[in-house]
Structure 1
Amino acid sequence: MQVTHVGSEVFPFSRSGGLGDVLGALPAVEASLGAEVCVVSPWYAGLSAKPKEIWRGHLREVGWDNPEVWVGEIVEGGVRYLFIGLSEFERAGLYHPDDVWRFSLFGKAVIPVLRLLGIRPDVLHGHDWQAGLVVAHAHLSGWRTVFTIHNLQYQGRWNLTEARHWTGLPEWAFGPDTLEFHGDLSLMKGGLVFADRVTTVSPTYAREITTPQYGEGLEGLMVRLTLEGRLSGIINGLDQERWNPRHDPEIQPYSDPEGKAGAIAALRQEFGLDSAPILATVSRLADQKGMDILIEALPELVEKWNVVVLGGGDPLLTAALIGWAQHPRVAFSQGMNEPLSHRIYAGADAFAMPSRFEPCGLSQMISMRYGTLPVVRETGGLVDTVPSDVGFRFAGTTPADLVAACDVAYDTLGQPEQWQERMQKAMQLDFSWQGPAQQYLKLYEGLGRRG
């Protein structure tokens, strides 16, 4: 089985969030299970490793001024990583306001580059809207395709009149049943419409996006895909070697709940916290993640908890947390800091995720791996991964709902035997990629192999 994944980021070479983690883990496990796997992503200026350049030239399919395209390669862990270079991707950072234009160029380059290199996979697997155009072109080329929604909220939309000329697609591809969405071009919709099978990153989220509350205006299409048997949910896995308290170089390693006490003491000392238990979160600062709910709940939370937050994003939420960091029981570290995130996952007692929606989520899996019990809203992947006898789940979206769940966690923490039992169960849960990878390979096989 020859599989080519296409996505906008891939750990450890480029990463801004969970998508990069998925493309850093799933392909390697598929390769270990016998598949021949390639991953295609942009050649950003800030890649963490320099690929070996294997081709440079011009592709008429990319159009416009016939821009120069270059291709780099890294082979690692049984996976061939290909990086497509275009001048639009030489800026600092991964994402920019004109990304629909940038990923339209990238989307037109992928299939020609694969052909140049003699790669004709049994299945092309595109991830999120940045790969939607690639899936459309692959379908029109007669390739079998899978498209995975990592977050339906982000759809790659642009004014249709202007953007239709960027795509290289025929005119019939811009109707309301194809890429047009309320007068815009939607690259997400391109992936959804043209893929042979559509997956999302948890079974519960696959059901939620068929409803107006979570469907982002595409719920009608999601219902149709479900009725056609083309939409399903496969829960993400976790890189259990990268996130392993038994040999994590960023902490004093431990293998059981008793050994966690040292990590808690270290985090308490690092942030100068008092003896109250530690409630933490590592998150993008966004309304989707419920960070406004957490901030509004702080006056009551700090009566019982120290609160530690690591993350960046919305300027207003960031400013609010900077202000709250003056409180002796609140610690806030702005931005992404992977070593610190390991220390937080290990050193907190409980982990808050009051997400309004959560397609899958990795933080709750990581926290349980480290014996840190999650307090989560009942939505998406949080429902599918947090057992009710391990974490603390709540249904509402108000600060009072979060506070009530944290109060239950606090009371349980005061019953050491119950808390230890939950921690033990949490640390024994299996979140490896083996199961999800096997499900994906079965899905690919169901599409058949190329002739």
Structure 2
Amino acid sequence: MRVVHVTSEVFPFSRSGGLGDVLGALPAVQAQQGAQVTVVSPWYAALAGHPAEVWTGDIPEVGPVRVGELEQGGVQFLFVALDEFDRPGLYHADDVWRFTRFGRAVLPALAALDLHPDVLHGHDWQAGLVVAQAHDLGWPTAFTVHNLQYQGRWNLAEAAGWTGLGAAWFSAEGAEFYGDLNLMKAGLVGADHVTTVSPQYAREITTSEYGEGLEGVLVWLTLEGRLSGILNGLDQERWDPRTDPDVPTFGDLAGKAAATAALRAEFGLDSAPILGVVSRLADQKGMDLLIEALPELVQHWNVVVLGGGDPLLTAALQGWAQHPRVIFAQGMNEPLAHRIYAGADAFAMPSRFEPCGLSQMIAMRYGTLPVVRETGGLVDTVPADVGFRFAEATPQALALACQAAHTAFQDRAGWAARVDRGMALDFSWTGPARQYLDLYERLAAR
């Protein structure tokens, strides 16, 4: 089985969040399971790596293109270099333009390298145009929605000429969406099968509450048997408390206590239990709910927050950082993230929606019990006898769940049993990777 993944980011070469983590782990496990796997992504100016150039040429209506290659973990990584990506950072305001350019370069670059996949698998809206083009060529295609909120929209009258797609795509049955080009919709309509990153999220996005305006398309896909949820896995080597170089390594509760003591000493925290947060600062992640709940939380918890994003949320946390029980570290700091996962007693994820989520899996693997809202992948991954779940997206509901966690924390034997159950859960990529390969085999057989 020859599989080509198309993505906007892939760890460790480029990453802004969970998408990069998934594409850094899933292909390697698929390669271990016998597939020939290629991952195609942009060659960013800030790419963490030095690809060897394997092709250069002019692609009609795109212009000069270079393709670089790296191999790692049995996976071939191809990086497509375009002038539009020769700037700092990954994402920018003109990304619909940039990723239509990228999308138009991918299939010609694969052809130039004589690479013909059995299945092409696109990820999120940045790969939607490639999936649509592959559909027109009759290639078997899969498309995964990692976050439906981001759709790649631009005024259709301006953007239609960028894509190279036929006129049939610019209708309500194609990629048109309320007068816009919608590249997420292009991927949904063009794919032979659509997956999301958890079974619960696959159900939620067919509703008006979570469907982001595309629920009609997603209901249609469900009725045709073309939408399913495959739960994301976790990179077991990168997130392993027994070998993690960033924390006091441990495999049991005694080691967990050492990690907690180290985090407490690092920030000068008092003896209250520690509630950790590692997150983008965004309304989707419920960070405004966390901030509103802080007056209640600090009565029982030290709260350690790592993250960056919304300036208003950032400013609010900076203000709260004057409190002796609130620590706020702005930005992304992977070693500190590891120390928080390992050293916190509980971990808060008050998300308004969460397609899958990796943080709750990491937390449980490190003996830290999640306090989560009942949505998306948080429902699928946090058992009621391990973590603490709440239904309403309100600061009051979050505070009550944290109060329940604090009460449970006083029963040290009961808490230890929860920790043991959480650390024993299997979130490896082995099962999900096999599910994807089974899907590819069905698509290729058609």
Question: What TM-score do the two structures reach when normalised by structure 2?
Answer: 0.99
Question: What secondary structure, in the 3-state scheme, does the structure 1 residue paired with 2:144 have?
Answer: strand
Question: What secondary structure, in the 3-state scheme, does the structure 2 residue paired with 1:93 have?
Answer: coil
Q: Aligned runs of 1:388-403 on 2, under 5 Å?
A: 388-403=384-399
Q: What residue number does 2:40 align with?
A: 40
1:22 aligns with 2:22: yes
Question: What secondary structure, in the 3-state scheme, does the structure 2 residue paired with 1:368 have?
Answer: helix
Deviation at residue 434 of structure 1 after TM alignment: 0.1
What per-residue deviation string (whole Å, max 9, x for no partner) do you get for residues 351-385 of structure 1? 00000000000000000000000000000000000
Deviation at residue 257 of structure 1 after TM alignment: 1.8
Question: What secondary structure, in the 3-state scheme, does the structure 1 residue paired with 2:420 have?
Answer: helix
1:176 aligns with 2:198: no
Structure 2: distance between partners of 1:113 and 1:299 = 55
Deviation at residue 285 of structure 1 after TM alignment: 0.4
Letter paired with 2:82: L
Tell me which moved more, 250-259 or 85-94: 250-259
What per-residue deviation string (whole Å, max 9, x for no partner) do you get for residues 175-217 of structure 1? 0111011111000000000100000000000000000000000
Q: What residue number does 1:118 align with?
A: 114
Letter paired with 1:127: H
Question: What secondary structure, in the 3-state scheme, does the structure 2 residue paired with 1:351 have?
Answer: strand
Q: What residue number does 1:234 align with?
A: 230
User: Contact between 1:122 and 1:449, CA under 8 Å: does it hold in 2?
Assistant: no
Q: What residue number does 1:314 align with?
A: 310
Deviation at residue 449 of structure 1 after TM alignment: 4.8
What per-residue deviation string (whole Å, max 9, x for no partner) do you get for residues 58-83 of structure 1? 101xx1xx421100000111100000
Structure 2: distance between partners of 1:271 and 1:402 = 24
Q: What residue number does 1:413 align with?
A: 409
Q: Aligned runs of 1:31-430 on 2, under 5 Å?
A: 31-60=31-60, 63=61, 66-430=62-426
Structure 1: distance between partners of 2:205 and 2:105 = 31
Runs of 4+ in 1 over 2 A off after TM superposition: none
Deviation at residue 270 of structure 1 after TM alignment: 1.0
Deviation at residue 142 of structure 1 after TM alignment: 1.2
Structure 2: distance between partners of 1:9 and 1:112 = 20
Letter paired with 1:328: P
Q: Unpaired runs of 5+ in structure 2?
A: none
Structure 2: distance between partners of 1:198 and 1:271 = 45
Structure 2: distance between partners of 1:314 and 1:425 = 35
Structure 2: distance between partners of 1:306 and 1:29 = 38
Structure 2: distance between partners of 1:364 and 1:320 = 24
Structure 1: distance between partners of 2:112 and 2:253 = 53
Letter paired with 1:28: A
Structure 1: distance between partners of 2:370 and 2:307 = 17
Letter paired with 1:115: A
Two-structure CA RMSD over aligned residues (Å)? 0.7
Letter paired with 1:50: H
Identity %: 71
Question: What secondary structure, in the 3-state scheme, does the structure 1 residue paired with 2:210 have?
Answer: coil
Deviation at residue 258 of structure 1 after TM alignment: 2.3
Letter paired with 1:58: D
Structure 2: distance between partners of 1:70 and 1:233 = 35
Q: Unpaired runs of 5+ in structure 1?
A: none
User: Contact between 1:51 and 1:73, CA under 8 Å: does it hold in 2?
Assistant: yes
Structure 1: distance between partners of 2:438 and 2:53 = 34
